[in-house]
Structure 1
Amino acid sequence: MNVHFLTVPGLASSGPQHWQTIWEKHYPDTFSRVQQHNWDWPVKDDWVGQLQKQVAELAQPTVLVAHSMGCITVAHWAQEYAPGQVVGALLVAPADAEQSKRLSFVVGFSPIPLKTLPFKSIVVASTNDRYATLSRSKHFADHWGSEFINLGKKGHINAVSGLGDWPEGKEILQKLGSVTPAASF
């Protein structure tokens, strides 16, 4: 099965040193990115609507590869829409739009949906993430029906974390099993 990967970045998108961007550059035939109209001022209806627009255009089985507010966007999207071609999701460092004071300006993302996702998923979190405590990330994983992986001290698991190509992340993506064939990377 040929699987496509759709990255769903968070606030400010993912810059050139972010693992999402690096994966897109290394695998341009299998990765594409959700494009938001305003990366700096997240509005749930806009972000979810844009994700749905791109999911509706998918022509093959797809795994969502989300980071930060992108994870919360996926949770809202999955509550509102049928999964279509989406067969799995890697949800890295979900941002706690309910409890993080750093995210007080985001619009409409609270409450965070706690409905089981209709596809296989993995939540990856860090013990020192400024945007969500480890216990909150585990709480999301439990409710979303996701496998949970604690990476230890990796910050917000973004470019500042210095992960580069993030080989461990690619191994975790492979844990989605039959959803992602080994030949993808």
Structure 2
Amino acid sequence: MTPTLIIVPGLGDSGPQHWQTLWQHKFGAERVRQDDPENPLPEVWAARLHEVIEATPGQLVLVAHSAGVATVAHWAQLSGGEDMARVRGALLVAPADPEQPGMAELHPQLLALAPLPLDELPFPALLVYSENDPYCTPERAEAMAEAWGAAAVSAGEAGHINAESGHGEWLDGEILLSEVLHAWTPPDVVRF
């Protein structure tokens, strides 16, 4: 049985042209909708993710973007039990680093997600990062992946891997998603 995808958006809930929204409709995915998508609070956002996971039967794959990646890390740190065991894997895309110098000027709402949990995730994960993402350096993304026990994949100079950076349907992402769905374990760092 194919796992159910759970879309975990970042700030602003990923708009209608964002690949997460397009994937939700294309793949019949569930979606985490935060009450306040502009102001992430780790416990609140993790609790909402937990609610969606509890309400979704079967095996699951989390598909997180930006602040949604931090939400997955906080949820993994705060949760446990049966629901955690049902997560078959996670695709973590363009993580936003709340501890990045200058974040207070760039996007102060993200500061609420600090400190970012860096405990190993209890499920396989693939972290996709961009070489020129304003919200996270490649070095920091690779350090997150290493701490979480995730494989890291560079998407090249892809901005924040969202609609604004030209990643509407994001077909390369679908290839990476298929690898997560098939429990592929790539090398530590892959560049394409």
Q: TM-score, normalised by structure 1?
A: 0.91
After TM superposition, what 4+ stretches of structure 1 lie above 6 angstroms from structure 2? Answer: none
Q: Give the aligned partner of residue 180 of structure 2.
A: 176
Q: Give the aligned partner of residue 47 of structure 2.
A: 49
Q: Runs of 5+ in structure 1 lacking a partner?
A: 181-185
Q: Give the aligned partner of residue 147 of structure 1.
A: 151
- Answer whether contact 2:98 2:111 (CA < 8 A) is retained: no
Q: Give the aligned partner of residue 60 of structure 1.
A: 58
- In 2, Cα distance between equivalents of 1:37 and 1:84: 26
Q: Does 135-144 or 106-115 show the bigger shift?
A: 106-115
- In 1, Cα distance between equivalents of 2:114 and 2:121: 17
SS at match of 1:175: helix
Listed one character per residue, the Cα deviations across residues 59-101 of structure 1 (whole Å, up to 9, x for unaligned) are 1100000000000000010011121421110000000011133
Q: What is the one-letter code of the residue matched to 1:46?
A: V
Is 1:159 equivalent to 2:157 in the alignment? no
- In 2, Cα distance between equivalents of 1:179 and 1:24: 20
Higher helix share: 2
1:177: how far off?
5.1
Q: Give the aligned partner of residue 76 of structure 2.
A: 78
Residue of structure 2 aligned with 1:119, choices 120, 123, 135: 123
Q: Give the aligned partner of residue 183 of structure 1.
A: none
Q: What is the one-letter code of the residue matched to 2:150?
A: S
- Answer whether contact 1:55 1:84 (CA < 8 A) is retained: no
Q: Give the aligned partner of residue 188 of structure 2.
A: none
- In 1, Cα distance between equivalents of 2:107 and 2:87: 27
- In 2, Cα distance between equivalents of 1:37 and 1:179: 32
- Answer whether contact 2:99 2:111 (CA < 8 A) is retained: no
Is 1:131 equivalent to 2:118 in the alignment? no
Is 1:89 equivalent to 2:105 in the alignment? no
Q: 1:53 to 1:107 in 2, by over 3 A?
A: farther
- Answer whether contact 2:67 2:110 (CA < 8 A) is retained: no
1:179: how far off?
4.3
- In 1, Cα distance between equivalents of 2:182 and 2:19: 23
Listed one character per residue, the Cα deviations across residues 129-160 of structure 1 (whole Å, up to 9, x for unaligned) are 01111111111000000010001110000111
- In 2, Cα distance between equivalents of 1:123 and 1:2: 21
- Answer whether contact 1:69 1:94 (CA < 8 A) is retained: yes
- Answer whether contact 2:89 2:181 (CA < 8 A) is retained: no
Q: What is the one-letter code of the residue matched to 1:153?
A: E
- In 2, Cα distance between equivalents of 1:68 and 1:177: 20
Tell me the C-alpha RMSD between the 2 structures. Answer: 1.5
Aligned residues: 178
Q: What is the one-letter code of the residue matched to 2:9?
A: P
1:12: how far off?
0.5
Q: Give the aligned partner of residue 22 of structure 2.
A: 22
- Answer whether contact 2:98 2:112 (CA < 8 A) is retained: no
Identity %: 42
Q: 1:107 to 1:53 in 2, by over 3 A?
A: farther
Q: TM-score, normalised by structure 2?
A: 0.88
